[in-house]
Structure 1
Amino acid sequence: MTINDARTGVGPLLRDWRRRRNLSQFDLALRAEISTRHLSFVETGRSSPSRDLLLRLADQLEIPLRQRNTLLVSAGYSPVYQETPLEAPRLKSIREAVDRLLTAHEPYPALAVDTDETIVAMNGGTRLLLAEVSPTLLVPPINVMRVCLHPEGLAARVVNVEEWRSHLVGRLYRQAIFSGRESLRVLYDEVASYVPKAPEDCQGLSDSIVASIRVRALGTELKLFSTITTFGAATDITVAELSLETMHPADEHTADAFRAAAAAAGQTAPWAGEVGSVATPAPTAGG
Protein backbone atom coordinates (compact mmCIF):
# COMPACT_ATOMS: atom_id res chain seq x y z
CA MET A 1 0.00 0.00 0.00
CA THR A 2 1.25 3.47 -0.79
CA ILE A 3 0.13 6.60 1.02
CA ASN A 4 1.57 9.90 -0.15
CA ASP A 5 3.81 11.67 2.34
CA ALA A 6 2.64 15.10 3.48
CA ARG A 7 4.53 17.77 1.58
CA THR A 8 5.56 21.23 2.69
CA GLY A 9 3.11 23.98 1.87
CA VAL A 10 -0.63 24.29 2.21
CA GLY A 11 -1.33 24.02 -1.54
CA PRO A 12 0.22 20.57 -2.05
CA LEU A 13 -1.38 19.37 1.19
CA LEU A 14 -4.84 20.43 0.03
CA ARG A 15 -4.31 18.84 -3.37
CA ASP A 16 -3.19 15.62 -1.70
CA TRP A 17 -6.31 15.48 0.48
CA ARG A 18 -8.56 16.31 -2.47
CA ARG A 19 -7.08 13.49 -4.54
CA ARG A 20 -7.30 11.12 -1.59
CA ARG A 21 -11.04 11.83 -1.48
CA ASN A 22 -11.31 11.33 -5.27
CA LEU A 23 -12.68 14.83 -5.83
CA SER A 24 -11.99 17.10 -8.80
CA GLN A 25 -11.20 20.76 -8.27
CA PHE A 26 -14.63 21.55 -9.64
CA ASP A 27 -16.38 19.23 -7.15
CA LEU A 28 -14.50 20.60 -4.14
CA ALA A 29 -14.92 24.22 -5.22
CA LEU A 30 -18.66 23.65 -5.63
CA ARG A 31 -18.96 22.15 -2.15
CA ALA A 32 -16.87 24.91 -0.57
CA GLU A 33 -18.75 27.62 -2.51
CA ILE A 34 -15.68 29.13 -4.13
CA SER A 35 -14.54 29.34 -7.74
CA THR A 36 -12.52 26.56 -9.31
CA ARG A 37 -9.99 29.23 -10.32
CA HIS A 38 -9.54 30.31 -6.70
CA LEU A 39 -9.04 26.71 -5.54
CA SER A 40 -6.53 26.11 -8.32
CA PHE A 41 -4.58 29.20 -7.28
CA VAL A 42 -4.54 28.00 -3.64
CA GLU A 43 -3.28 24.54 -4.63
CA THR A 44 -0.51 25.95 -6.83
CA GLY A 45 0.54 28.56 -4.27
CA ARG A 46 -0.52 31.53 -6.37
CA SER A 47 -3.06 32.54 -3.73
CA SER A 48 -2.90 32.39 0.07
CA PRO A 49 -6.08 30.97 1.62
CA SER A 50 -7.71 32.60 4.61
CA ARG A 51 -8.07 30.67 7.84
CA ASP A 52 -11.84 30.42 7.37
CA LEU A 53 -11.43 29.07 3.84
CA LEU A 54 -8.98 26.43 5.02
CA LEU A 55 -11.38 25.26 7.72
CA ARG A 56 -14.24 25.18 5.20
CA LEU A 57 -12.17 23.13 2.75
CA ALA A 58 -11.05 20.81 5.57
CA ASP A 59 -14.66 20.27 6.54
CA GLN A 60 -15.68 19.39 2.99
CA LEU A 61 -12.70 17.04 2.68
CA GLU A 62 -13.47 15.44 6.07
CA ILE A 63 -9.88 15.91 7.16
CA PRO A 64 -9.25 14.55 10.69
CA LEU A 65 -8.74 17.21 13.37
CA ARG A 66 -5.06 16.42 13.92
CA GLN A 67 -4.35 16.87 10.21
CA ARG A 68 -6.45 20.07 10.13
CA ASN A 69 -4.00 21.57 12.60
CA THR A 70 -1.16 20.55 10.28
CA LEU A 71 -2.95 22.22 7.40
CA LEU A 72 -3.41 25.47 9.36
CA VAL A 73 0.21 25.56 10.51
CA SER A 74 1.43 24.96 6.95
CA ALA A 75 -0.46 28.11 5.93
CA GLY A 76 1.03 30.16 8.77
CA TYR A 77 -1.94 30.01 11.15
CA SER A 78 -2.11 28.77 14.72
CA PRO A 79 -3.61 25.31 15.32
CA VAL A 80 -7.26 25.35 16.38
CA TYR A 81 -7.89 21.94 17.90
CA GLN A 82 -6.58 20.90 21.31
CA GLU A 83 -5.28 17.44 22.18
CA THR A 84 -6.16 16.76 25.79
CA PRO A 85 -4.79 13.69 27.64
CA LEU A 86 -7.62 11.27 28.34
CA GLU A 87 -6.89 11.36 32.08
CA ALA A 88 -7.15 15.18 32.25
CA PRO A 89 -9.99 16.71 34.31
CA ARG A 90 -11.33 18.38 31.17
CA LEU A 91 -12.24 14.97 29.75
CA LYS A 92 -13.84 13.59 32.91
CA SER A 93 -17.27 13.49 31.28
CA ILE A 94 -15.85 11.56 28.31
CA ARG A 95 -14.19 9.00 30.60
CA GLU A 96 -17.43 8.60 32.51
CA ALA A 97 -19.40 8.17 29.28
CA VAL A 98 -17.01 5.46 28.08
CA ASP A 99 -17.17 3.80 31.51
CA ARG A 100 -20.99 3.73 31.39
CA LEU A 101 -21.05 2.30 27.87
CA LEU A 102 -18.53 -0.44 28.67
CA THR A 103 -20.36 -1.32 31.88
CA ALA A 104 -23.78 -1.33 30.22
CA HIS A 105 -22.57 -3.78 27.56
CA GLU A 106 -21.52 -6.44 30.08
CA PRO A 107 -21.27 -9.40 29.93
CA TYR A 108 -20.49 -9.01 26.21
CA PRO A 109 -17.16 -7.67 24.90
CA ALA A 110 -16.66 -3.92 24.48
CA LEU A 111 -13.52 -1.81 24.21
CA ALA A 112 -12.37 1.71 23.49
CA VAL A 113 -9.50 2.31 21.05
CA ASP A 114 -7.58 5.32 19.82
CA THR A 115 -6.76 6.21 16.24
CA ASP A 116 -3.73 3.88 16.18
CA GLU A 117 -5.97 0.94 17.21
CA THR A 118 -4.45 0.93 20.70
CA ILE A 119 -6.87 -0.23 23.39
CA VAL A 120 -7.40 2.42 26.06
CA ALA A 121 -10.14 0.54 27.93
CA MET A 122 -11.86 -2.82 27.83
CA ASN A 123 -14.52 -4.57 29.87
CA GLY A 124 -14.65 -8.01 31.45
CA GLY A 125 -16.43 -9.51 28.45
CA THR A 126 -13.41 -8.64 26.30
CA ARG A 127 -11.10 -10.27 28.83
CA LEU A 128 -13.19 -13.44 28.64
CA LEU A 129 -12.99 -13.46 24.84
CA LEU A 130 -9.21 -12.94 24.88
CA ALA A 131 -8.50 -15.39 27.70
CA GLU A 132 -6.62 -17.83 25.44
CA VAL A 133 -4.69 -15.23 23.42
CA SER A 134 -0.90 -15.30 23.89
CA PRO A 135 -0.02 -13.19 26.97
CA THR A 136 2.72 -11.44 24.98
CA LEU A 137 0.02 -9.78 22.89
CA LEU A 138 -1.79 -8.51 26.00
CA VAL A 139 1.09 -6.47 27.41
CA PRO A 140 0.13 -2.75 27.30
CA PRO A 141 -0.02 -0.90 25.03
CA ILE A 142 -2.35 -3.47 23.48
CA ASN A 143 -3.11 -3.08 19.79
CA VAL A 144 -6.49 -4.51 18.82
CA MET A 145 -5.49 -5.34 15.24
CA ARG A 146 -2.41 -7.18 16.43
CA VAL A 147 -4.40 -9.08 19.07
CA CYS A 148 -7.07 -10.06 16.56
CA LEU A 149 -4.91 -10.96 13.55
CA HIS A 150 -1.60 -12.27 14.92
CA PRO A 151 -1.18 -16.07 14.50
CA GLU A 152 -0.97 -16.36 18.30
CA GLY A 153 -3.92 -14.05 18.79
CA LEU A 154 -7.66 -14.42 18.40
CA ALA A 155 -7.31 -15.41 14.73
CA ALA A 156 -6.11 -18.87 15.78
CA ARG A 157 -9.56 -19.55 17.24
CA VAL A 158 -11.75 -17.89 14.60
CA VAL A 159 -13.72 -20.36 12.46
CA ASN A 160 -14.46 -17.94 9.57
CA VAL A 161 -10.96 -16.50 9.75
CA GLU A 162 -10.57 -15.56 6.06
CA GLU A 163 -13.78 -13.54 5.97
CA TRP A 164 -13.07 -11.90 9.30
CA ARG A 165 -9.43 -11.12 8.46
CA SER A 166 -10.45 -9.56 5.14
CA HIS A 167 -12.90 -7.29 6.92
CA LEU A 168 -10.37 -6.11 9.51
CA VAL A 169 -7.46 -5.68 7.08
CA GLY A 170 -9.75 -3.85 4.67
CA ARG A 171 -11.01 -1.61 7.46
CA LEU A 172 -7.45 -0.79 8.51
CA TYR A 173 -6.50 -0.02 4.91
CA ARG A 174 -9.36 2.46 4.57
CA GLN A 175 -8.50 4.08 7.90
CA ALA A 176 -4.90 4.55 6.80
CA ILE A 177 -5.99 6.12 3.51
CA PHE A 178 -8.66 8.29 5.13
CA SER A 179 -6.43 9.61 7.91
CA GLY A 180 -3.10 9.74 6.08
CA ARG A 181 -1.41 8.44 9.25
CA GLU A 182 1.97 6.79 8.69
CA SER A 183 1.52 4.74 11.88
CA LEU A 184 -1.57 3.07 10.42
CA ARG A 185 0.23 2.34 7.16
CA VAL A 186 3.00 0.62 9.13
CA LEU A 187 0.42 -1.32 11.15
CA TYR A 188 -1.35 -2.36 7.93
CA ASP A 189 1.92 -3.67 6.48
CA GLU A 190 2.54 -5.64 9.67
CA VAL A 191 -0.85 -7.34 9.97
CA ALA A 192 -1.01 -7.99 6.21
CA SER A 193 2.24 -9.93 6.57
CA TYR A 194 0.76 -12.34 9.11
CA VAL A 195 -0.60 -14.53 6.32
CA PRO A 196 1.27 -15.73 3.19
CA LYS A 197 -1.13 -13.99 0.84
CA ALA A 198 -2.89 -10.93 2.20
CA PRO A 199 -5.75 -9.29 0.27
CA GLU A 200 -4.26 -7.42 -2.69
CA ASP A 201 -7.04 -4.90 -3.09
CA CYS A 202 -8.61 -4.08 0.24
CA GLN A 203 -10.28 -1.02 -1.26
CA GLY A 204 -12.88 -3.29 -2.79
CA LEU A 205 -13.87 -4.92 0.51
CA SER A 206 -17.19 -4.26 2.16
CA ASP A 207 -17.65 -0.96 4.00
CA SER A 208 -20.19 -2.51 6.35
CA ILE A 209 -19.87 -1.39 9.97
CA VAL A 210 -21.06 -4.84 11.06
CA ALA A 211 -18.48 -7.64 11.08
CA SER A 212 -19.50 -11.25 11.77
CA ILE A 213 -17.20 -13.61 13.66
CA ARG A 214 -17.47 -17.25 14.71
CA VAL A 215 -14.88 -18.02 17.36
CA ARG A 216 -14.05 -20.97 19.59
CA ALA A 217 -13.96 -19.63 23.14
CA LEU A 218 -15.53 -20.20 26.56
CA GLY A 219 -15.55 -23.90 25.76
CA THR A 220 -17.89 -23.58 22.78
CA GLU A 221 -18.36 -21.87 19.43
CA LEU A 222 -19.55 -18.28 19.74
CA LYS A 223 -21.26 -16.21 17.06
CA LEU A 224 -20.85 -12.45 17.35
CA PHE A 225 -21.15 -9.29 15.30
CA SER A 226 -19.52 -5.97 16.06
CA THR A 227 -20.40 -2.31 15.73
CA ILE A 228 -18.20 0.77 15.96
CA THR A 229 -19.26 4.08 17.49
CA THR A 230 -17.44 7.42 17.49
CA PHE A 231 -18.08 10.72 19.28
CA GLY A 232 -19.98 13.05 16.98
CA ALA A 233 -19.00 16.71 16.52
CA ALA A 234 -15.88 16.34 18.66
CA THR A 235 -13.62 19.41 18.82
CA ASP A 236 -10.79 17.81 20.81
CA ILE A 237 -8.33 15.58 18.95
CA THR A 238 -8.28 12.89 21.66
CA VAL A 239 -12.06 12.60 21.68
CA ALA A 240 -12.33 12.71 17.89
CA GLU A 241 -9.83 9.85 17.61
CA LEU A 242 -11.58 7.68 20.19
CA SER A 243 -13.96 4.91 19.08
CA LEU A 244 -15.96 2.24 20.88
CA GLU A 245 -16.28 -1.27 19.50
CA THR A 246 -19.02 -3.45 20.93
CA MET A 247 -19.55 -7.12 20.15
CA HIS A 248 -23.07 -8.54 20.28
CA PRO A 249 -24.25 -12.15 20.51
CA ALA A 250 -25.73 -13.33 17.21
CA ASP A 251 -27.70 -16.13 18.90
CA GLU A 252 -29.02 -17.12 22.31
CA HIS A 253 -26.37 -19.81 22.75
CA THR A 254 -23.62 -17.17 22.59
CA ALA A 255 -25.52 -14.88 24.96
CA ASP A 256 -25.94 -17.71 27.47
CA ALA A 257 -22.25 -18.64 27.24
CA PHE A 258 -21.11 -15.11 28.08
CA ARG A 259 -23.62 -14.72 30.89
CA ALA A 260 -22.50 -18.01 32.47
CA ALA A 261 -18.78 -17.23 32.08
CA ALA A 262 -19.18 -13.73 33.53
CA ALA A 263 -21.16 -15.04 36.48
CA ALA A 264 -18.52 -17.68 37.18
CA ALA A 265 -15.73 -15.07 37.04
CA GLY A 266 -17.65 -12.50 39.08
CA GLN A 267 -17.11 -9.86 36.40
CA THR A 268 -19.70 -7.11 36.34
CA ALA A 269 -17.73 -3.98 35.44
CA PRO A 270 -14.98 -2.80 33.04
CA TRP A 271 -11.42 -3.95 33.66
CA ALA A 272 -10.00 -0.87 32.03
CA GLY A 273 -7.84 0.19 34.93
CA GLU A 274 -5.08 -2.17 33.84
CA VAL A 275 -5.00 -0.79 30.30
CA GLY A 276 -6.03 2.86 30.37
CA SER A 277 -7.61 5.21 32.86
CA VAL A 278 -11.21 5.24 31.69
CA ALA A 279 -12.57 2.85 34.27
CA THR A 280 -11.57 1.03 37.42
CA PRO A 281 -12.03 -2.72 37.71
CA ALA A 282 -14.65 -3.86 40.17
CA PRO A 283 -13.58 -6.44 42.74
CA THR A 284 -14.31 -10.05 41.86
CA ALA A 285 -16.74 -12.11 43.88
CA GLY A 286 -15.28 -12.85 47.27
CA GLY A 287 -12.54 -10.21 46.78
Structure 2
Amino acid sequence: MTTAFGSALKDWRTRRRLSQLELALRAGTTQRHVSFMESGRSVPGRGMVVRVAESLQLPLRERNALLLSAGYAPSYPETDLSDPALRPVLDALERLLDGHEPYPAIVVDRFGDLVATNKAAGILTEGAAPELLEPPVNVLRLALHPRGMAPRIANFDDWARHVLERPRQEQAKAPHPRHAELLTELEGYLPGPPNLDADHLGFAVPLVLRTSRGEMRLLTAITTFATAVDVTVSELRLETFLPADDETAHILTR
Protein backbone atom coordinates (compact mmCIF):
# COMPACT_ATOMS: atom_id res chain seq x y z
CA MET A 1 0.00 0.00 0.00
CA THR A 2 1.46 3.37 -1.03
CA THR A 3 2.22 5.64 1.93
CA ALA A 4 2.14 9.44 2.09
CA PHE A 5 5.93 9.38 1.92
CA GLY A 6 5.89 6.97 -1.02
CA SER A 7 3.51 9.18 -2.99
CA ALA A 8 5.51 12.32 -2.19
CA LEU A 9 8.78 10.63 -3.14
CA LYS A 10 7.43 9.43 -6.48
CA ASP A 11 5.92 12.86 -7.19
CA TRP A 12 9.22 14.67 -6.54
CA ARG A 13 11.22 12.10 -8.51
CA THR A 14 8.86 12.56 -11.46
CA ARG A 15 9.10 16.35 -11.20
CA ARG A 16 12.88 16.09 -11.27
CA ARG A 17 12.65 13.71 -14.27
CA LEU A 18 14.75 11.06 -12.59
CA SER A 19 14.41 7.31 -12.96
CA GLN A 20 14.39 5.16 -9.84
CA LEU A 21 17.89 4.01 -10.73
CA GLU A 22 19.20 7.57 -11.13
CA LEU A 23 17.77 8.58 -7.77
CA ALA A 24 19.17 5.43 -6.15
CA LEU A 25 22.67 6.18 -7.44
CA ARG A 26 22.49 9.75 -6.13
CA ALA A 27 21.18 8.66 -2.73
CA GLY A 28 23.61 5.76 -2.30
CA THR A 29 21.00 3.02 -2.33
CA THR A 30 19.48 0.55 -4.82
CA GLN A 31 16.76 0.91 -7.41
CA ARG A 32 14.89 -1.88 -5.61
CA HIS A 33 14.94 0.08 -2.34
CA VAL A 34 13.62 3.22 -4.09
CA SER A 35 10.84 1.15 -5.66
CA PHE A 36 9.95 -0.37 -2.28
CA MET A 37 9.90 3.08 -0.62
CA GLU A 38 7.57 4.46 -3.28
CA SER A 39 5.22 1.48 -3.05
CA GLY A 40 5.20 1.46 0.76
CA ARG A 41 6.86 -1.96 1.03
CA SER A 42 9.86 -0.42 2.78
CA VAL A 43 9.87 2.08 5.65
CA PRO A 44 12.91 4.38 5.28
CA GLY A 45 14.99 5.54 8.21
CA ARG A 46 15.38 9.22 8.93
CA GLY A 47 18.85 9.29 7.38
CA MET A 48 17.57 7.78 4.14
CA VAL A 49 14.79 10.38 3.92
CA VAL A 50 17.35 13.16 4.36
CA ARG A 51 19.63 11.63 1.70
CA VAL A 52 16.77 11.28 -0.74
CA ALA A 53 15.67 14.86 -0.13
CA GLU A 54 19.21 16.11 -0.73
CA SER A 55 19.51 13.98 -3.88
CA LEU A 56 16.30 15.51 -5.20
CA GLN A 57 17.72 18.98 -4.40
CA LEU A 58 14.59 19.92 -2.50
CA PRO A 59 14.34 23.34 -0.84
CA LEU A 60 14.52 23.17 2.95
CA ARG A 61 10.78 23.70 3.35
CA GLU A 62 10.05 20.71 1.11
CA ARG A 63 12.68 18.59 2.90
CA ASN A 64 10.82 19.21 6.15
CA ALA A 65 7.55 18.23 4.48
CA LEU A 66 9.08 14.99 3.17
CA LEU A 67 10.35 14.14 6.66
CA LEU A 68 6.89 14.77 8.11
CA SER A 69 5.29 12.52 5.48
CA ALA A 70 7.61 9.72 6.62
CA GLY A 71 6.69 10.28 10.28
CA TYR A 72 9.78 12.21 11.36
CA ALA A 73 10.12 15.67 12.90
CA PRO A 74 11.43 18.45 10.63
CA SER A 75 15.21 18.93 10.60
CA TYR A 76 15.34 22.58 9.59
CA PRO A 77 13.97 25.43 11.74
CA GLU A 78 11.70 28.10 10.27
CA THR A 79 12.26 31.37 12.12
CA ASP A 80 10.04 34.41 11.72
CA LEU A 81 11.84 37.46 10.35
CA SER A 82 10.80 39.41 13.45
CA ASP A 83 12.54 36.91 15.75
CA PRO A 84 15.63 38.39 17.46
CA ALA A 85 17.51 35.24 16.46
CA LEU A 86 17.57 36.47 12.86
CA ARG A 87 18.80 39.95 13.76
CA PRO A 88 22.43 39.14 12.81
CA VAL A 89 21.25 37.89 9.40
CA LEU A 90 19.18 41.00 8.76
CA ASP A 91 22.05 43.23 9.91
CA ALA A 92 24.35 41.49 7.43
CA LEU A 93 21.80 42.01 4.66
CA GLU A 94 21.54 45.69 5.53
CA ARG A 95 25.30 46.01 5.15
CA LEU A 96 25.14 44.30 1.77
CA LEU A 97 22.38 46.66 0.65
CA ASP A 98 24.23 49.75 1.83
CA GLY A 99 27.44 48.54 0.22
CA HIS A 100 25.72 48.30 -3.16
CA GLU A 101 24.85 52.00 -3.25
CA PRO A 102 24.60 54.11 -5.35
CA TYR A 103 22.97 51.23 -7.25
CA PRO A 104 19.54 49.88 -6.25
CA ALA A 105 19.25 46.64 -4.30
CA ILE A 106 16.40 44.83 -2.55
CA VAL A 107 15.79 41.68 -0.50
CA VAL A 108 12.60 39.68 -1.08
CA ASP A 109 11.09 36.46 0.25
CA ARG A 110 10.00 33.45 -1.82
CA PHE A 111 6.75 35.14 -2.89
CA GLY A 112 8.45 38.37 -3.94
CA ASP A 113 7.39 40.32 -0.82
CA LEU A 114 9.85 43.07 0.04
CA VAL A 115 11.97 42.43 3.14
CA ALA A 116 14.55 45.24 2.92
CA THR A 117 15.87 47.81 0.47
CA ASN A 118 18.59 50.42 0.15
CA LYS A 119 17.98 54.12 -0.43
CA ALA A 120 18.93 53.94 -4.10
CA ALA A 121 15.97 51.67 -4.83
CA GLY A 122 13.63 54.65 -4.56
CA ILE A 123 14.36 55.57 -8.17
CA LEU A 124 12.73 52.31 -9.26
CA THR A 125 9.42 53.05 -7.57
CA GLU A 126 8.94 56.75 -8.30
CA GLY A 127 5.44 57.48 -9.55
CA ALA A 128 3.96 54.17 -8.38
CA ALA A 129 0.48 54.20 -6.88
CA PRO A 130 0.60 54.58 -3.06
CA GLU A 131 -1.42 51.41 -2.46
CA LEU A 132 1.26 49.34 -4.23
CA LEU A 133 3.85 50.70 -1.79
CA GLU A 134 1.87 49.79 1.33
CA PRO A 135 3.43 46.91 3.28
CA PRO A 136 3.67 44.11 2.47
CA VAL A 137 5.00 45.34 -0.88
CA ASN A 138 5.11 42.64 -3.53
CA VAL A 139 7.87 43.59 -5.97
CA LEU A 140 6.54 41.31 -8.73
CA ARG A 141 3.17 43.06 -8.62
CA LEU A 142 4.88 46.45 -8.37
CA ALA A 143 7.00 45.70 -11.44
CA LEU A 144 4.13 44.64 -13.72
CA HIS A 145 1.06 46.48 -12.41
CA PRO A 146 -0.25 49.22 -14.74
CA ARG A 147 -0.14 51.63 -11.79
CA GLY A 148 3.30 50.48 -10.73
CA MET A 149 6.52 50.49 -12.73
CA ALA A 150 4.96 49.20 -15.96
CA PRO A 151 4.21 52.58 -17.64
CA ARG A 152 7.87 53.60 -17.23
CA ILE A 153 9.38 50.38 -18.60
CA ALA A 154 10.33 50.98 -22.22
CA ASN A 155 10.76 47.27 -22.98
CA PHE A 156 7.80 46.09 -20.93
CA ASP A 157 6.90 43.03 -23.04
CA ASP A 158 10.34 41.45 -22.75
CA TRP A 159 10.87 42.53 -19.16
CA ALA A 160 7.50 41.24 -18.00
CA ARG A 161 8.19 37.78 -19.37
CA HIS A 162 11.65 37.88 -17.82
CA VAL A 163 10.16 38.77 -14.41
CA LEU A 164 7.65 35.92 -14.63
CA GLU A 165 10.31 33.28 -15.26
CA ARG A 166 11.36 33.10 -11.60
CA PRO A 167 7.89 32.57 -10.04
CA ARG A 168 7.08 30.07 -12.78
CA GLN A 169 10.21 28.11 -11.96
CA GLU A 170 9.46 28.32 -8.23
CA GLN A 171 5.95 27.01 -8.81
CA ALA A 172 7.28 24.16 -10.96
CA LYS A 173 9.86 23.19 -8.32
CA ALA A 174 7.62 23.56 -5.26
CA PRO A 175 3.92 24.20 -6.03
CA HIS A 176 2.10 26.53 -3.64
CA PRO A 177 -1.42 28.02 -3.85
CA ARG A 178 -0.14 31.57 -3.32
CA HIS A 179 2.38 31.22 -6.14
CA ALA A 180 -0.37 29.94 -8.42
CA GLU A 181 -2.70 32.82 -7.48
CA LEU A 182 0.06 35.42 -7.91
CA LEU A 183 1.08 34.00 -11.29
CA THR A 184 -2.50 34.18 -12.54
CA GLU A 185 -2.68 37.84 -11.51
CA LEU A 186 0.70 38.76 -13.00
CA GLU A 187 0.06 36.97 -16.29
CA GLY A 188 -3.05 39.13 -16.65
CA TYR A 189 -0.80 42.19 -16.93
CA LEU A 190 1.03 40.83 -19.97
CA PRO A 191 0.00 42.29 -23.33
CA GLY A 192 -0.39 38.91 -25.03
CA PRO A 193 1.45 35.76 -26.05
CA PRO A 194 5.18 36.16 -26.69
CA ASN A 195 6.34 36.93 -30.20
CA LEU A 196 9.91 35.68 -30.07
CA ASP A 197 12.23 36.29 -33.00
CA ALA A 198 15.85 35.48 -33.75
CA ASP A 199 16.99 38.48 -31.70
CA HIS A 200 15.24 37.35 -28.50
CA LEU A 201 17.69 37.60 -25.59
CA GLY A 202 16.17 34.96 -23.33
CA PHE A 203 17.04 35.55 -19.67
CA ALA A 204 19.56 38.31 -20.48
CA VAL A 205 16.96 41.07 -20.56
CA PRO A 206 17.95 44.55 -19.34
CA LEU A 207 15.43 46.75 -17.57
CA VAL A 208 15.01 49.92 -19.65
CA LEU A 209 13.39 52.34 -17.21
CA ARG A 210 12.28 55.92 -17.78
CA THR A 211 12.97 58.07 -14.71
CA SER A 212 12.84 61.74 -13.75
CA ARG A 213 16.62 61.80 -14.22
CA GLY A 214 16.70 60.15 -17.63
CA GLU A 215 16.34 56.70 -19.16
CA MET A 216 18.30 53.95 -17.41
CA ARG A 217 19.40 50.52 -18.60
CA LEU A 218 19.85 48.09 -15.72
CA LEU A 219 20.96 44.49 -15.45
CA THR A 220 19.85 42.41 -12.48
CA ALA A 221 21.66 39.78 -10.45
CA ILE A 222 20.03 37.50 -7.87
CA THR A 223 21.89 36.05 -4.90
CA THR A 224 20.53 33.22 -2.76
CA PHE A 225 21.87 31.82 0.51
CA ALA A 226 22.61 28.23 -0.41
CA THR A 227 24.31 27.32 2.86
CA ALA A 228 21.44 28.52 5.07
CA VAL A 229 20.02 25.92 7.47
CA ASP A 230 16.95 27.99 8.38
CA VAL A 231 13.95 27.75 6.04
CA THR A 232 13.21 31.48 6.18
CA VAL A 233 16.78 32.52 5.39
CA SER A 234 17.12 29.95 2.60
CA GLU A 235 14.12 31.51 0.83
CA LEU A 236 15.45 35.08 0.84
CA ARG A 237 16.70 36.61 -2.43
CA LEU A 238 19.08 39.55 -2.74
CA GLU A 239 18.37 41.30 -6.06
CA THR A 240 20.87 43.89 -7.21
CA PHE A 241 20.54 46.29 -10.14
CA LEU A 242 23.68 47.19 -12.07
CA PRO A 243 24.13 49.87 -14.75
CA ALA A 244 24.28 48.43 -18.25
CA ASP A 245 25.89 51.55 -19.72
CA ASP A 246 27.88 54.61 -18.71
CA GLU A 247 24.88 56.95 -18.83
CA THR A 248 22.97 54.83 -16.31
CA ALA A 249 26.02 54.69 -14.04
CA HIS A 250 26.27 58.47 -14.25
CA ILE A 251 22.59 58.96 -13.41
CA LEU A 252 22.80 56.70 -10.36
CA THR A 253 26.08 58.15 -9.15
CA ARG A 254 24.74 61.68 -9.57
Query: Structures share a fold, TM > 0.5?
Result: yes
Is the CA contact (8 Å cut-off) linking 1:171 and 1:207 kept in structure 2? no
Equivalent-residue separation in structure 2 for 1:8 and 1:40 (angstroms): 12
Aligned to 1:116: 111
Q: Does 1:72 align with 2:70?
A: no
Structure 1 runs (4+) deviating above 3 angstroms are: 205-208
Is the CA contact (8 Å cut-off) linking 1:223 and 1:249 kept in structure 2? yes
Equivalent-residue separation in structure 2 for 1:232 and 1:112 (angstroms): 15
Deviation of 1:142 (Å): 0.5
Aligned Cα root-mean-square deviation (Å): 1.9
Q: Does 1:220 align with 2:214?
A: yes
TM-score of the pair, normalised by structure 1: 0.82
Equivalent-residue separation in structure 1 for 2:8 and 2:61 (angstroms): 14
Q: Does 1:55 align with 2:50?
A: yes
Is the CA contact (8 Å cut-off) linking 2:15 and 2:173 kept in structure 1? yes
1:226 counterpart letter in structure 2 = T
TM-score of the pair, normalised by structure 2: 0.92
Deviations 1:160-187 (A, max 9, x none): 1111111111221011111222221221
The equivalent position to 1:23 in structure 2, one of 3, 15, 18, is 18
SS in structure 1 opposite 2:116? Answer: strand
Q: Which runs of 5 or more structure 1 residues have no equivalent in the other structure?
A: 1-6, 261-287
The equivalent position to 1:236 in structure 2, one of 230, 240, 250, is 230
Deviation of 1:50 (Å): 0.9
Deviations 1:202-249 (A, max 9, x none): xxx9884x5411110133110000000011211101110111000001
Q: Does 1:161 align with 2:159?
A: no
Is the CA contact (8 Å cut-off) linking 1:31 and 1:60 kept in structure 2? yes
Q: Does 1:248 align with 2:242?
A: yes
Distance 1:21 1:194, change over 3 A: same
Is the CA contact (8 Å cut-off) linking 2:3 and 2:39 kept in structure 1? no
Is the CA contact (8 Å cut-off) linking 1:114 and 1:242 kept in structure 2? yes
SS in structure 1 opposite 2:206? Answer: strand
User: How is 1:119-158 mapped onto 2 (pairs within 5 angstroms)?
Assistant: 119-158=114-153
Count of paired positions: 249
Relative contact order, higher structure (CA 8 A, sep 6+): 1
